[in-house]
Chains A and B, each alone.
Chain A
Amino acid sequence: MEVAVISGKGGTGKSSISAAFATMQPNVVLADCDVDAANLYILFNPTHEKEEVFVSVYKAVIDKDSCTNCGLCIDYCRFDAIHDVDGEVLIDETACDGCKLCSRICPSESISMIPEDKSRMYAGTFRNGKMVYGRLSPGEENSGRLVDMVREEAKIIAKENHFETIIIDGPPGIGCPVISTITGVNKVVIVTEPTLSGLHDLKRTVEVVSKFKLSKSVIINKYDLNADMANTIEDYCNSQDVKVIAKIPFDKVVVDAMVNCKSVIEFAPDSEIAGLLREAYQKLSEN
């Protein structure tokens, strides 16, 4: 079973819940697909058995010696990434999308494409199984493709080790990396919080997940910080036929677990929250 934990809104508790799910049973593959801000390695300190370079994008670079400053590339660039600055043609690296068109049409063949190769995928062993995670080098794009790479590796490892469960900690938002995270998984768990923003983001997330016709359920985290809003969210879920598999109260034990580099299941196995999360996971498996 491949379970993806996502949330439209950031900071709702995805990673803490993924960590809990990954420590309820042995022999789990944990894939941290929040490649923009990977955090689970902090809790689980996995070994580094494998490291792979991920080329996120190629950026255009002009060879100043052969460039005639004709400006043809400026006309062709659709990303507003090339400018004439006092008669000199310059590329804005931040705006360059890496489409390579400028390099193809340059009459003096002065533009080459340089790979951005600082992003990495890592795989190793942690105390409860295997772990795969990606780290996107700052400012880079195409994190969806790095997510694909992490998930592919997780599947291979699961097969090789005969592990049946893959837990995926997803990124926030609803864009490319999220779509890559949920494509083809068995279960999607959406973690939300009882705020107006949480509800708004949940709606957009449900919309995306529905487009892919995936089995989805919701966990309302910190529900008691605003019980009325939690009820509104629950009503919304019912109206959409989305199952709410847990309502988790706010408890400092979750933060304390994190500070101690443990999942809440490991840190406080007898706590109310640990029980609720075990129940939620059970419901997920049955659904």
Chain B
Amino acid sequence: MNSKIKIAIASGKGGTGKTFISINLFNALQKSGTKVNLVDCDAEEPNDREFIAGEFQQSFDVTQKVPVIDESKCIYCGKCYEYCNYNAIFFLAEPQMIRVLEDHCHGCGACSVACEYGAITEKDDLLGTVAIYKVQQNSNLIEARMKVGVHSPVPVIKEAVKSAADADVILLDSPPGTSCPFIQTVATADYVVLVTEPTPFGLSDLRQSVDTLRSMGKNCGVIVNRAGLGNDEVFDYLKKENISLLMSVPFDKSIAMTYSNGKLISNETPEWEKKFSQLFNIILQENGSSSY
């Protein structure tokens, strides 16, 4: 291994097996001595740590600034209300009333800039935490965990990805969907692995993911999980769109059982450890021969 690579593991549809692929790929790589960091970017529902034991190293809070209005200084001019693009300030001119709706605030600071009377100061509001766990000498698991009740996982994801910088291989276990949390995760990746299942729902969401990644100029390949269920349309689609099928994981109750108990198939059977090592080599080749 001489080149650094950042790989995002993603899927439009939830529950297709992103975490299954991420943790097993990570496990196979760290066992072979590769310096690899796995970042659990599914900050709303992080799960990687259920499968991977690591020694806690450090954690830090991710916060955002929210305004505090000093009503003794406020003249109820309404300028902060006008500046806020997120409806996070509730304001009435008559009768005079002003409140901060912290849940809606994005911490942009516009209200502070708007206020000419020094009535707005800011305090830190906790959005979540990033925790780092040492798995092997040079391999870490980094978990982004959004606080329950917070609206967006994006700031926590951004900080977690930043803190993973120091490794030869960085794996990003992405949140589902194709909206902002997904984009933030894949934005810095060199290569994206899309995990899907051979069902109409899986295919529909895969198409959307592929279209999104193409518009971002990202190189991607596909893993079909639970092959054998559903139908063959996804394979036809991959052929037609000239997208590489990186791996096919059969639907198998014993694989499902291993996963459901929080165990790694790449530890349970040498065959699967080898398959995940091969998967990494395939990704390296695919990334080297970037086709668009």
Contacts and interface: CB of A to CB of B under 8 A. Distances in A.
Interface of A: 8-12, 15, 36-37, 39, 42-43, 58, 76, 78-79, 94, 97-101, 104-105, 136, 138-141, 143-144, 171-176, 179, 193-198, 200-201, 204, 207-208, 211, 225-226, 229, 252, 255, 258-259, 261
Given A15-B201, A99-B106, A174-B148, A197 B47 contact: yes
Given A99-B86, A105-B113, A173 B176 contact: yes
A76 B13 CA distance: 37
A136 B257 CA distance: 35
Interface in B229-262: 229-231, 253, 256-257, 259-262
B273 interface: no
B261 A229 contact: yes
B85 to A, nearest CB: 5
Interface of B: 12-16, 19, 44-45, 47, 50-51, 65, 83, 85-86, 106-110, 113, 146, 148-153, 175-184, 187, 197, 199-201, 204-205, 208, 211-212, 215-216, 229-231, 253, 256-257, 259-262
Given A138-B179, A171-B177, A176-B151, A94 B187 contact: yes
Nearest to B181: A175
A15, A100, A197: residue with the most chain B Cβ atoms closer than 10 Å: A197
B110 A175 contact: no
Given A173-B176, A196-B261, A208-B148, 6 more contacts: A36-B177, A100-B83, A104-B83, A196-B50, A211-B149, A258-B201
B210 to A, nearest CB: 10
A194 B183 contact: no
B86, B110, B231: residue with the most chain A Cβ atoms closer than 10 Å: B110
B128 to A, nearest CB: 11
B14 A172 contact: yes
A223 to B, nearest CB: 11
The 6 tightest CB contacts between A and B, nearest first, are A10-B14, A11-B15, A99-B108, A36-B177, A138-B212, A173-B44
Nearest to A39: B201
B152 A258 contact: no
Nearest to B103: A179
A226 B257 contact: yes
Contact of B260 (A39, A225, A258): A225
B60 to A, nearest CB: 17
A79 B205 CA distance: 29
Contact of B179 (A104, A136, A207, A225): A136
Contacts of B113: 76, 101, 104-105
B158 to A, nearest CB: 8
A97 B16 CA distance: 29
Contact of A255 (B50, B180, B199, B216): B199
B51, B146, B176: residue with the most chain A Cβ atoms closer than 10 Å: B176
B229 A252 contact: yes
A175 B260 contact: no
Given A208-B148, A259-B200, A141 B65 contact: no
Nearest to A210: B148
B257 A225 contact: yes
A10 B15 contact: yes
A173 B175 contact: yes
Given A196-B261, A197-B47, A37 B230 contact: no
A175 B147 CA distance: 10
A42, A99, A100: residue with the most chain B Cβ atoms closer than 10 Å: A99
A261 B259 CA distance: 29
B44 A175 contact: yes
Nearest to A8: B45
A39 B51 CA distance: 30
B204 A42 contact: yes
B178 A208 contact: no
A173 B174 CA distance: 12
Contact of A195 (B106, B150, B259): B259
Contacts of A197: 19, 45, 47, 50
A37 B257 contact: no
14 contacts: A10-B15, A10-B16, A11-B14, A94-B184, A136-B178, A136-B179, A138-B212, A140-B179, A173-B153, A173-B175, A196-B50, A225-B256, A255-B199, A258-B230
B180 A139 contact: yes
B183 A94 contact: yes
A37 B107 contact: no
